Amino acid sequence: MSSGASAELIYIVAAIIGVGVVAQVLADRFRVPSVLFLLSAGIIVGPVGVGLLDPTSFGGALSAIVGLSVAIIVFEGAFHLKLNKLREAPSAQIRLVTIGAAISLVGTAIVVHFALGAAWDLSFLIGALLVATGPTVITPILSVVAVRDRVGAALETEGIVNDVTAAILAVVMFEVVVLTGNESFALAEFLSEFMAKLGTGLIVGLLISLVIWYVLRHVDLSRENAPQNSRLLVLAGALVAYAVADFFAKEAGIAAVATAGIILGNANLPYEEKIEEFKGDITLVVLSFVFITLAALLEPSDLFSLGVGGVVVVLAVMFLIRPFLVFVSTTGTRFTRGEKLFVSFVGPRGIIPASVATLFAFRLQNTPEIPNSGAAATTLIGTVFLVILVTVVFEAGFARHIAERLNVIPMRVLIIGGGKVGRALAERLEDRGENVVLIEQDESIIATARDNGFTVHRGDGTDTDVLRAAGADNAKIVVAATGDDDVNLLVAQLADSKFDAETIIARANNPDNVDAFEDLGVRTISSSLATAWAIDNVIERPALSNWMTELGRSGDVQEIEVTAKDLVGKTITELDSDLPNGVLIALVGRNGETSVPSEDFTLQQGDHITFLGRREAVRNAIDLCHPR
């Protein structure tokens, strides 16, 4: 390579990294997924835009660079996939990566075949690629949109697993069907190749991760530079796993790095936080490089040549196939309708379809013996990138707006203690749509809570690190509900001194401790006194007791603040006429005083209204008076 060419590559790489860093900073500043800025930057600085970047300067090395970069990105995403998250929505996750992936593959292939007139082999190749969402687009969305844990876990798992399966599916489809021109689909040969590549990746990833785990656990890397050496060893292990697996079976490297990432991410490695920080920085650099480079390769003619058929494919993928597979996969789970719609409309495609489609297009263009290889390459790259661009712009770019519209950003509540009291409270709160996380260390209680569909974080609730890992930094309510008063008091004090929770409540098992708790500023509920009061109500006020019991089963009581401008100035009579049947205005609070309002009471900004009635009617009243 001439010195002039070397200098040009240096300028190109420096420009890509510089533009990528700026894109990442802007994405963080405006709280949108960085992929949106990276794709835009690649198109602007590439040959289509101002022409500052020409990725063809890398020549044949581009595919190898992209491959290693994708390996790092997939490893990073897999490293952050914790096995405890897999328990939060297991049935939904399994269906999304099996039944959901199959629906996506077949549905997309059918639409591509009939909308674009593509051959069946090419249609299934495109369908295989567009199965993948990927951590490169899902992780930035979840960092901006704080959805319920089960929703985030399902999206993360789908992204990582489908990245691997989509890449291998596409490679096998390309080599077994497209390159050979095999019109009669050989299912046995296809499955054999798929399992060989997947199995190779799993075995290599397992072996490499075990070696790294052993070295980090049992070998003194260096007293002075152990954290640095640990980071470098993990990064090198990811690249070695990719290269070794790819040597034995082409494109098995993706499965290898994903396997190694999941194992090492759950192995409780020393210096794990330092490793995560280092990998995160490296991933940002390679992510910027890959997205900007591939976007710069995009030719507008590839998109425009699809015509109306391309639009039909995009709309079908976004509004028919994706929602259908999500609703099928989440049937019978605790997912609410809003959460199902959110997962349906937030499934942008990421780096795996873009990079693999680009490599396939290169190979098609260089294989003239395949009939219409040039047109097939154009259809392939155009369809894949059109779906990526549209889904990233609209689904990733507007993810927070979609979440707010569907009301799937819940209040986070931490309940320390997963016993009967904690689970009963969690059930009531989750039924109202809140994001509840239980903290428990008893294995039998954890198993029971998880069997009932609750999100449980294993650990000691009096440990600050455990509280933080469970989400105490973002919790609005912390409830100490264990059977040990000393534990509850310590949890309440930690939540007050270390975290910014709006409400902290402790359970007092011994009524003699109530005054001591409250003297320390802890809002306290005595389980003994509460039980005594309930029994007293049954004896002295049976009608009230029966009504309260029925209210707890099918009714609800909710308090909201008046924020809607059209409510200010309305009287109780006027508001009551707008409310749905089955709900009453029980109380109105103003300036710290609460009373039963008269019919001519006029509402003001900041008033607090208490609704009482049937659960669904109360929720409808809240949506009417307190839109979110």
Report whether pLDDT(374) > 70: yes
Residue range 233-245: mean pLDDT, rounded? 90
Mean pLDDT of the chain: 80
Q: Report the CATH number that the domain containing residue 434 is assigned in CATH.
A: 3.40.50.720
How many Cβ atoms are within 10 Å of 239's Cβ, its own excluded? 16
What pLDDT is recorded for position 84? 66
Residue range 428-451: mean pLDDT, rounded? 83
Q: Assess if residue 215 is contained within a domain.
A: no
Q: Which residues of 116-133 are buried (b: 16+ CB within 10 A; e: fewer)?
A: bebbebbbbbbbbbbbbb
How confident is residue 6, by pLDDT bands cut at 50, 70 and 90?
low
Residues 73 and 180 in one domain: yes
Q: Assess if residue 203 is contained within a domain.
A: no
Of 221-225, 230-234, 596-600, minimum mean pLDDT range: 221-225
What pLDDT is recorded for position 186? 62
Residue range 75-83: mean pLDDT, rounded? 75
Measured over the CA atoms of residue 454, residue 458, residue 460 and residue 462, the dihedral's sign is negative
Of 6-10, 246-250, 400-404, 520-524, minimum mean pLDDT range: 6-10
How are strands ordered across the β-sheet holding 477-480? 455-458, 435-440, 412-416, 477-480, 503-508, 523-526
Residue range 55-69: mean pLDDT, rounded? 74
What pLDDT is recorded for position 102? 93
What pLDDT is recorded for position 178? 62
Q: CA-CA distance, 70 to 67, in Å (whole number)?
A: 5
Residues 385 and 486 in one domain: no
pLDDT digits (tens, 9 = 90+) for 514-553: 887 787 777 888 877 777 766 766 777 676 566 666 555 6
Contacts with 505 (C-beta within 8 Å, 6 or more apart), sequence order = 477, 478, 479, 480, 492, 523, 524, 525
Residues 44 and 168 in one domain: yes
Residues 498 and 615 in one domain: no
More confident site: 537 or 498:
498
Residue range 440-451: mean pLDDT, rounded? 87
Residues 437 and 462 in one domain: yes
Of 94-103, 192-201, 241-250, minimum mean pLDDT range: 192-201
pLDDT digits (tens, 9 = 90+) for 111-152: 999 999 988 888 988 999 999 887 777 877 877 777 877 788
- Token pair, residue 201, equals 């990746």
How confident is residue 3, by pLDDT bands cut at 50, 70 and 90?
low
Residues 569 and 603 in one domain: yes
How many Cβ atoms are within 10 Å of 298's Cβ, its own excluded? 23
Q: Assess if residue 161 is contained within a domain.
A: yes
Q: Which residues of 470-495 are buried (b: 16+ CB within 10 A; e: fewer)?
A: bbbeebebbbbbbeebebbbbbbbbb
More confident site: 16 or 236:
236
Report the run of H or E that residue 624 belongs to, with start and end: helix 615-625
More confident site: 531 or 498:
498
pLDDT digits (tens, 9 = 90+) for 178-221: 655 555 556 677 777 778 888 888 999 999 999 999 888 888 76
Residues 596 and 611 in one domain: yes
* Domain termination site, one of 364, 382, 406: 406
How confident is residue 109, by pLDDT bands cut at 50, 70 and 90?
very high
Nearest-10 Cα torsion for 261, 265, 269, 273: 110
> Could you please report the per-residue DSSP string of 481-536?
--S-HHHHHHHHHHHHHHS--SEEEEEESSGGGHHHHHHTT-EEEEHHHHHHHHHH
Q: Assess if residue 243 is contained within a domain.
A: no
> Could you please report the per-residue DSSP string of 228-271?
HHHHHHHHHHHHHHHHHHHHHSTTTHHHHHHHHHHHHHTS--TT
How confident is residue 498, by pLDDT bands cut at 50, 70 and 90?
confident
> Could you please report the per-residue DSSP string of 348-386?
---HHHHHHHHHHHHHHHT-TTSTTHHHHHHHHHHHHHH
Contacts with 435 (C-beta within 8 Å, 6 or more apart), sequence order = 146, 147, 148, 149, 410, 411, 412, 413
What pLDDT is recorded for position 628? 47
3-state secondary structure of 408: coil
This prediction has a pTM of 0.66
Residues 380 and 483 in one domain: no
- The DSSP symbol for 604 reads -
Q: Assess if residue 234 is contained within a domain.
A: no
3-state secondary structure of 626: coil
CA 43, distance to chain mean position in Å, is 27
Residue among 600, 20, 538 nearest 286 (CA)? 20
Contacts with 199 (C-beta within 8 Å, 6 or more apart), sequence order = none
Q: Phi/psi of residue 6, each to 5°?
A: -65, -45
Report whether pLDDT(89) > 60: no
Number of domains in the chain: 3
If phi > 0 it is left, if psi is from -120 to 50 it is alpha, else beta; for residue 417 that is left
Residues 563 and 509 in one domain: no
Residues 575 and 450 in one domain: no
Q: CA-CA distance, 175 to 127, in Å (whole number)?
A: 15
Note the residue count of the chain.
628
197 within 8 A of 172, measured Cβ to Cβ:
yes
214 within 8 A of 270, measured Cβ to Cβ:
no
* Domain termination site, one of 406, 422, 438: 406
Measured over the CA atoms of residue 133, residue 139, residue 143 and residue 146, the dihedral's sign is positive
Residues 328 and 345 in one domain: yes
Report whether pLDDT(570) > 90: no
Give the residue numbers spanning the domain of 513.
412-536
Q: Which of 165-174, 339-348, 366-375 has the highest mean pLDDT?
A: 339-348
Q: CA-CA distance, 15 to 289, in Å (whole number)?
A: 10
More confident site: 96 or 471:
96
* Domain termination site, one of 376, 406, 436: 406
- The DSSP symbol for 598 reads P
Q: Assess if residue 485 is contained within a domain.
A: yes
Q: Which residues of 34-69 are buried (b: 16+ CB within 10 A; e: fewer)?
A: bbbbbbbbbbbbbbbeeeebebeebeeebeebbbbb
What pLDDT is recorded for position 7? 62
Q: Assess if residue 280 is contained within a domain.
A: no
Contacts with 104 (C-beta within 8 Å, 6 or more apart), sequence order = 127, 130, 131, 321, 322, 325
Residue range 213-230: mean pLDDT, rounded? 78
Q: Assess if residue 391 is contained within a domain.
A: yes
Residue range 583-606: mean pLDDT, rounded? 81
More confident site: 130 or 77:
130
Report the run of H or E that residue 607 belongs to, with start and end: none
